[in-house]
Chains A and B, each alone.
Chain A
């Protein structure tokens, strides 16, 4: 079930991620397809066949060319000032005008040369300190040197990308918080996991990556079908989906009470699912990207169309042609196909229900826009004893309530409400410090371990458990520190 590491080459049809500095964008690799990324347009054709991790330059005509390692020739004299006491901001230090620069760009001159010209035409450059010169060059390079690295998608890259570009779609789940969830949930090959998320399928994808195609996952979904836009960006091999099941949240109660039946489903679940999916994911996606472009005209639409969507449009086009050719036959086949699809859907639903009924799942992961308490109280029923569970919430308060309700219910121990802080550093000789900005919030986690739930005498044991588990704030000892 394994596929190669970072070694693999870029192939047509792959899901890949473009990277420029700290900015990512997920794309599918297709020939003759214009990509717009960071205000630049290009084709991916020339990238096909290269190893993932290769850095490319954008040449005129939108072609990609692997970047050659060039010796830095920027400051041959290495002249520099010691302080800025004589540097005056008169706005005239740069002798090149906006029009000059635009002309250079229009001529198709390489970014590297533009940077060199900017340096040569800066009257204050030589008076700047060595550090300031360094900073100046870096800033200009970032602006004029169009280099793009194509990397293989991973949880690391996709969770960073989503948090930066579309935090609203993943309920502001920061990547380090997601990392905590995977570890606290003991996600690994061979598990039988229950996942309930409304994070565009990012959490599902992260769980799938850690399970490597071994074991099974039951995805609980609200509405007509699960949203997996982010999941499709991972580019998982087909076998990874063989043991991925889905079950509608709206049927959980009937499953628990024993009245569940696939016959009670709406007449045509397939159609419903498609409609719902559209309103849940796709159209919403378009809407939000529209809003974003309105607010900030400079930024492009947040993300490439996911490969799955593209597949859809392509299929529809193909169908269109066929449709005209033999309408009648198609119609009959359509009805039949629909019946087969519906039958298959029922079969899959029955399988998922059977897996849940065993009540022996190896863990529960919840990361959704819904209130976590009712989800936990119901879904924990499907989890075996001595297994971890993790709930994410963007806000702390619902988790406070969830904590209290779980205590009342019993059957859980080692409950922990936590949050992580993430700080990035600039590390340069004599210039090391924390980065200027850090993320204000990446959400909260409530985690714990299930135990055998003793029904009936739960009252007395609960109060005892509560007492027993009450953490004494006086006793918080500082863990032995390194150094």
Chain B
């Protein structure tokens, strides 16, 4: 396995995702002789994982079972060890499209943070592109390098440990796209411009606060960027539920209920909604929004150098 290529079977040294149930999973480094504890019991890597197909059901020692999944940047994002606040797949997907990334693209990123976006960028620009990522925190930079090695993508990424606002990306006139997720992106706009190819490219800056966006937009305009556009994307997830609502008793006789607007016999209603007149309820399927959702991650400002 690697994060940029599917493999069929689980091998020694792979990073696999142990899937326990709804939204409950964790990554595991597969190693001969190693064991992993789950709430369903122990998984023995040598016998339970190595050589098995990705997507298999694995029975744990207590009789419960889990699924073992092939890693993807999206599963990694949901399970990676947080060293910083991270970007999630909803923002990542619009960033990738609006920066026009594809195989062969050269991208500059700062900061590397926990590497959530980095993995997605590498996936998209492989096998001929490259990611130059800059992280001023030495320990985080080192940890990111280690992860890229473990995930078999180190040939597609260069991690530099420096301050992007002071020292830039360490490359010039090479990038098709630049992404900034730092507290003062306006201080890095000049460096971003010189990192981009002379012929042009795209830039994106992520900021949680509108004041940051304001300063960034001004800096972009002063540096001659065009098509400056700020947007925000929000994810709405729905739970699929079968809901029953009681039919009110309006004092009508039982036989009159059929004319009350509920047709229990019509086959077209089956599955979507059906009335149970004996119990006095109507059932239907609904997509119910979660009670609490993420209302704001950050503003995304895009622009073009041309």
Contacts and interface: CB of A to CB of B under 8 A. Distances in A.
Q: Do A and B come from one complex?
A: yes
B146 interface: no
A451 B230 CA distance: 39
A386 B49 CA distance: 14
Contacts of B170: none
Contact of A387 (B6, B88, B126): B6
A404 B272 contact: no
B20 to A, nearest CB: 8
A461 B59 CA distance: 12
Interface residues of A, number: 81
A191 B89 contact: no
A154 B94 contact: no
Contacts of A400: 240, 285-287
B61 interface: no
B199 A5 contact: yes
B296 interface: yes
B100 A214 contact: no
A476 to B, nearest CB: 5
Given A400-B240, A401-B285, A178 B208 contact: no
Interface in B76-102: 85, 88-90, 92-94, 96-98, 100, 102
Interface string B52-94: 0111110000000001111011100000000001001110111
A482 B102 contact: no
B108 to A, nearest CB: 14
Given A179-B93, A188-B123, A449-B69, A424 B230 contact: yes
Contacts of B240: 400, 403-404, 417
A482 B4 CA distance: 29
* Contact size range, B: 35 or more
B127 interface: yes
Given A156-B98, A186-B72, A388-B72, A420 B233 contact: yes
A241 to B, nearest CB: 16
B38 to A, nearest CB: 13
Interface string A1-37: 1100111000000000000000000000000000000
B288 interface: yes
Given A53-B306, A183-B92, A452-B56, A419 B70 contact: no
B21 A212 contact: no
Contact of B232 (A214, A388, A425, A474): A425
A183 B89 contact: yes
Contact of B55 (A403, A451, A469, A482): A451
A178 B232 contact: no
Given A385-B53, A404-B285, A189 B103 contact: yes
Interface in A364-394: 384-388
19 contacts: A6-B199, A7-B200, A154-B100, A179-B93, A186-B73, A190-B4, A210-B124, A385-B55, A418-B237, A423-B231, A424-B230, A425-B230, A425-B232, A432-B213, A451-B57, A452-B57, A454-B57, A469-B22, A479-B294
Interface of A: 1-2, 5-7, 51, 53-54, 154-156, 159, 175-176, 178-180, 182-184, 186, 188-191, 209-214, 360, 362, 384-388, 396-397, 399-401, 403-404, 413-414, 416-425, 427, 429, 432, 444, 449-452, 454, 461, 468-471, 473-474, 476-483
Given A6-B201, A422-B234, 10 more contacts: A6-B176, A179-B94, A182-B93, A188-B123, A214-B103, A400-B240, A417-B239, A451-B69, A478-B292, A478-B294
